Structure 1
């Protein structure tokens, strides 16, 4: 079995390559069973309760690959200077079950999540969208400018975080990488004045973005929350917007959607389509520059399998 560390996993996953690969994967057929979700509760060294979530996400395709990702999410890790997410990915031969490779699951998760965000924006953000506001400073958030710039002419990036020093540090990092980036101190002002695309990549349990802040023509991208207890928006974000999801599973997993449906600002039948339907041309994305759009993703094992397959093929056929 081959082993791919973080660097080797990252190398073949440039967004200019990964986003089109995801588009092809969603348009094709694959087997993606529902994820297994387990809650972990333990006592920390100081006696305080530590709570996390374990996800087990399998997928396989006719191309002959089976992949299983195990992902551990512990939102309290930030207080200890640790990432909130840790993952491993194992790729198998789908015809024999033979293990082929162990890959860096953190890198696969972050890059495929950012790529799916950009794929959604390729259908739903205005063609001239250039100002991106990112909420969050974690591994996924850090990749969003590059991901979105692969599908839209992004030339201005803002970042907000509940810890202002984190936003300042990430903005400085982005500037060093060549981005026109600034930290946003006032979230409401940033949403109202600086955002063609608002991309939320947090582990928030309470709403951050309010519906009355969002301008006509804006695109709201929600890729952080993935359980009914998590939410990044209030229920008014969905009122008057055309809402799309990555997979139907979002209607059961997303606290943002569940809250909006409970409040009556969104009905299940109001969902305009999934990524697969958009990629197959079965549903229409943005239809005017004035309409407001929302994309809610909870993640799909198909995305992980697509990324892992790219890594495998790149190793088998080096340039």
Structure 2
């Protein structure tokens, strides 16, 4: 068994944004081609506690080097007030010849970066006619920090960032961290969510909201909203938008904004396209210049596997991690 901790994962992924973007892009395209197996994520919730959850994402991704495994990821929003990270995760990769587990690795870094990479791919592929030079980040947590990292890799013209968070101190700390990493960026706060939504035609929403609380009324025509936390936008805003998803069967579940829109309308006609098809043929889906486009990725397990496999292969090359002999029982 190869065990890779957070430091090992960081050593592989830090500075490898282009490689992660390509791994995620390839995973989306393979999934759209039917070269994956992707059961529904399993949500473990607790009696009298609807805020916290742990989710299992099993998946298989077929290619020249197929990979199978599972991510086990928790979300405990109360951790933030205690100075801990909201999300924690572990990923297991299995042998495709024996089925035996081969690698066990810290998964929260992989999870955050594959989410951010999917957002950046959508932003680059659903590009406006005039390149986006600014982005509004609603929610100043780990995910939007990673989104900014990958947007900078995918959108070279990005120069301005507007921030909004209900916790002003958190927004201030986030701004300081961004300025330390990317001093060339112009970073400013927004006093209200609508101010942030109106500031740029590229918006990333990553909050811990459990129920819809935002409309897109303040957004400019032609805005692309990266709706990463999935439960922020009202049903009316979803139904009025051009909707691109990662997988309709997955995203229309668990009381997401799109699930609520499906329940209201009785169908999914409001969904325009899956991102895999858009990536395979970018000319087939342009960003609307007069409507709001919303990208809502549920977060597919195949993305975790694609990035985890990248980490595993490079870790072997770099001799990273710990080999644990005797983890599995000896043969009979």
Tell me whether the two structures share a fold, i.e. TM-score over 0.5: yes
Name the structure 1 match of 2:292. 292
Note the alpha carbon deviations across 1:117-175, whole angstroms, 9 max, x for none.
11121222325011111111222121111111222221111221110110011011111
Quick one: distance in 1 between partners of 2:85 and 2:103?
24
Query: Given that residues 273 and 283 in structure 1 are in contact (C-alpha distance below 8 angstroms), is that contact kept between their aligned partners in structure 2?
Result: no
Q: Which residue pairs with 1:146 in the alignment?
A: 149
Q: 1:239 to 1:313 in 2, by over 3 A?
A: same
SS of corresponding position for 1:224: coil
Q: CA-to-partner distance for each residue in 1:173-205, whole Å, 9 max, x for gaps?
A: 11111232222222212212x122110111102
How far residue 78 of structure 1 moved from its aligned partner, in angstroms, is 2.6
Counterpart secondary structure, 1:21: helix
Residue 277 of structure 1: how far off its partner (Å)? 1.6
| Structure 2 match to 1:313 | 313
State the distance in 2 between where 1:181 and 1:94 align.
46
1:111 partnered with 2:113: yes
Pairing 1:259–2:285 present: no
Q: Distance in 2 between matches of 1:255 and 1:196?
A: 23
Task: Indicate the SS of the match to 2:253.
Answer: helix
Does the 8 A contact of 2:136 with 2:204 survive in 1? yes
| Count of equivalent residues | 306
In the superposition, the TM-score normalised over structure 1's length comes to 0.88
1:69 alignment partner, SS class: strand
Residue of structure 2 in register with 1:272 after alignment: 272
SS in structure 1 opposite 2:74? strand
The equivalences for 1:79-94 within 5 A come to 79-94=81-96
Shift of 1:104: 1.2
Among residues 35, 42, 45, which one is paired with 1:39 in the alignment?
45
Moved more, 97-106 or 160-169: 97-106
Distance in 2 (alpha carbons) for counterparts of 1:110 and 1:205: 19
Distance 1:220 1:298, change over 3 A: same
**1:11: Cα distance to partner?**
3.2
Does residue 133 of structure 1 match 2:139?
Answer: no
Cα distance change, pair 208–12 in 1 and its aligned pair in 2 (3 A): farther
Q: Name which of structure 1's ranges 182-191 and 84-93 shifts more when overlaid on structure 2.
A: 182-191
Q: Which runs of 5+ in 1 are unaligned?
A: 43-48, 226-230
CA distance in 2, matches of 1:22, 1:148: 14
Instruction: Give, in whole Å, the separation in 1 of the partners of 2:70 and 2:286.
Output: 34
The aligned runs of 1:171-182 (5 Å cut-off) are 171-177=175-181, 178=183, 179-182=185-188
- Following superposition, the deviation at residue 303 of structure 1 comes to 0.5
Q: 1:1-319 alignment to 2 at 5 Å?
A: 1-13=1-13, 14-28=16-30, 29-41=35-47, 51-62=51-62, 63-126=65-128, 128-152=131-155, 153-177=157-181, 178=183, 179-192=185-198, 194-225=199-230, 231-248=231-248, 249-263=250-264, 268-281=268-281, 284-318=284-318
Structure 2 residue runs of 5 or longer lacking an equivalent are 320-332
Greater RCO (CA < 8 Å, at least 6 residues apart): 2
Quote the Cα distance in structure 2 between the aligned partners of 1:7 and 1:86: 14
Of residues 106-115 and 238-247 in structure 1, the stretch that sits farther from structure 2 once superposed is: 238-247
Change (3 A) 1:252 1:206: closer
